[in-house]
């Protein structure tokens, strides 16, 4: 097994990489995002002039649009995709960029967003109103060999409901135990949820679809699935009650990078085991999400969730092998109850397929075009009153995708 030269320094969270250390013990990490080449390393030709005609028949939401532009009130400001995160299928040697803006020391003090992926500076970004467009969300990575990778944005993670907007869900009746879409307001034991943010959603029933601009680099797979998650499919909305679907969590008991599974805090009552060499130790990492990427939990801790996102459903379970009658086998977090079978699981969101070119294109996708893939629990309908996640699912292969100006629309 091998990693491309310099990849661990450019993208320290590359799958299977051993974090590199400077002489002072600190992490070897780029100051700002680096986008390593993929595939054949074909030069990007850029985009031809954009076609704005698709905007003529629609009205964009005035309450939410993701432009990823830098804050002009800050000196030397950088763009950030607030509330967006990325994931991949953990193919050994594959990478994904960018990371969270907080993972790049050179971004410190140059943005105000709470958290989110670092945006990328672009030239000739799509603009139909004469305004400059200098930043976009740019995902590059691969090669992904299992199911691919993705970008996701929990809509209400940062702001429960934009002030004055028409996204706000109907409030529950006084004394009700369920909200108007049928989601429990508390845990089954009557206590409040561990964290309120995962249980938030927007009501998009006043809109007709989602729209955004997108393009790809020349070595990227062209296909993308645009995904929405509602109460029927969302893992987050079903946390701590699992009313509409059952949650499942895959795990990895051993360390992909070949390092020993070592207790981080051996004197603690319940030590946390992570992948690192005890003779070398771990680099000091202040950002909790980056710590989870560089020194993942393993062994007895493989099912432990990060402190900032405690999982009452699955924390305390064990990472054990399970075979679903020969159809699927792997390691999952479960206790005395077997992990959820496919027909019970959350996760099979509502998707619509698009194909990208190297030109910026405007995509206007009606909600009526979204369908489930069919790999988990079948939902009776897409409930637009309970949308909590917008995502882009990228297929097996290499990915080099740009998106911009994401919002919802109504037909005029």
Query: In angstroms, rounded to a whole number, what is the distance separating the alpha carbons of residues 240 and 189?
Result: 10
- On average, the pLDDT of the chain sits at 96
Instruction: Say how far apart CA 113 and CA 97 lie, in whole Å.
Output: 19
Q: Which residue has the tokens 């402190």?
A: 307
CB 305 within 8 A of CB 313: no
The distance from CA 253 to its chain's CA centroid, rounded to whole angstroms, is: 23
CB 116 within 8 A of CB 102: no
The pLDDT value recorded for residue 163 is: 87
* pLDDT band, residue 48 (cuts 50/70/90): very high
φ, ψ for residue 105, nearest 5 deg: -55, -30
| pLDDT of 297 strictly over 60 | yes
The Cα 110–Cα 120 span in angstroms is 14
Q: Tally the C-alpha atoms within 13 A of residue 236's C-alpha that lie toward its C-beta.
A: 23
Residues 72-90: what's their mean pLDDT?
97
Percent share of the chain, pLDDT over 70: 100
pLDDT over threshold 60, residue 1:
no
Q: pLDDT grade, residue 2 (50/70/90)?
A: low
CA atoms within 13 A on the CB side of 356: 27
> What CA–CA distances, in Å, run from 281 to 7, 261, 264, 295, 341?
21, 12, 9, 10, 39
> pLDDT value at position 5?
74
pLDDT for residue 307 is more than 90: no
End-to-end CA distance of the chain: 56
What percent of the chain shows pLDDT beyond 90? 94
With tokens 């710590």, the residue in question is 291
> What pLDDT, on the 0 to 100 scale, is given for residue 4?
72
Residue positions counted in the chain: 412
pLDDT tens-place string over residues 215-245:
999 999 999 999 999 999 999 999 999 999 9
The band of 330, judged by pLDDT with boundaries at 50, 70 and 90, is very high
Rounded Cα–Cα distance for residues 227 and 233 (Å): 11
Rounded mean pLDDT, 261-289: 95
Q: Which helix (H) or strand (E) holds 400?
A: strand 397-411
Split at pLDDT 50, 70, 90, the class of 327 is: confident
């Amino acid at each position: 097994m091998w990693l491309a030269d310099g990849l661990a320094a450019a993208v320290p969270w590359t799958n299977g990489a051993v974090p590199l250390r400077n002489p002072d013990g600190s992490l070897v990490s780029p100051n700002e995002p680096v986008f390593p080449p993929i595939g054949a390393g074909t030069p990007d030709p850029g985009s031809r002039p954009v076609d704005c005609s698709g905007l003529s028949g629609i009205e964009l939401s005035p309450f939410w649009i993701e432009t990823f532009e830098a804050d002009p009130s800050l000196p030397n400001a950088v763009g950030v995709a607030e509330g967006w995160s990325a994931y991949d299928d953990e193919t050994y040697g594959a990478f994904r960029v960018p990371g969270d803006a907080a993972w790049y020391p050179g971004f410190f003090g140059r943005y105000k967003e709470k958290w989110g992926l670092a945006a990328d500076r672009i030239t000739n970004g799509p603009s139909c109103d004469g305004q400059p467009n200098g930043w976009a969300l740019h995902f590059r990575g691969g090669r992904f060999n299992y199911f691919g990778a993705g970008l996701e944005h929990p809509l209400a993670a940062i702001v429960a409901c934009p002030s004055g907007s028409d996204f706000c869900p109907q409030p529950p009746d006084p004394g009700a135990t369920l909200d108007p879409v049928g989601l429990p307001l508390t845990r089954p034991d009557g206590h409040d949820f561990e964290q309120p943010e995962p249980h938030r959603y927007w009501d998009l029933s006043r809109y007709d679809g989602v729209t955004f601009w997108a393009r790809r680099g020349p070595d990227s797979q062209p296909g993308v699935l645009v995904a929405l998650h509602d109460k029927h499919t969302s893992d987050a909305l079903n946390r701590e009650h699992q009313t509409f679907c059952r949650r499942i969590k895959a795990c990895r008991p051993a360390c992909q990078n070949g390092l020993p599974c070592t207790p981080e805090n051996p004197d603690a009552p319940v030590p946390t085991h992570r992948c690192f060499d005890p003779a070398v130790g771990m680099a000091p990492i202040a950002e909790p999400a980056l710590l989870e990427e560089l020194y993942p939990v393993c062994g007895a801790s493989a099912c432990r969730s990060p402190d900032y996102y405690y999982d009452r459903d699955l924390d305390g379970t064990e990472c054990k092998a399970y075979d679903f009658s020969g159809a699927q086998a792997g390691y999952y977090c479960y206790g005395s109850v077997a992990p959820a079978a496919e027909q019970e699981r959350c996760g099979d969101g509502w998707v619509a397929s698009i194909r990208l070119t190297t030109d910026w294109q405007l995509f206007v996708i009606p909600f009526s075009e979204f369908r489930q893939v069919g790999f988990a629990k079948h939902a009776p309908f897409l409930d637009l009153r309970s949308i909590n996640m917008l995502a882009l699912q990228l297929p097996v292969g290499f990915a080099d995708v740009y998106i911009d100006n994401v919002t919802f629309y109504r037909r005029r």
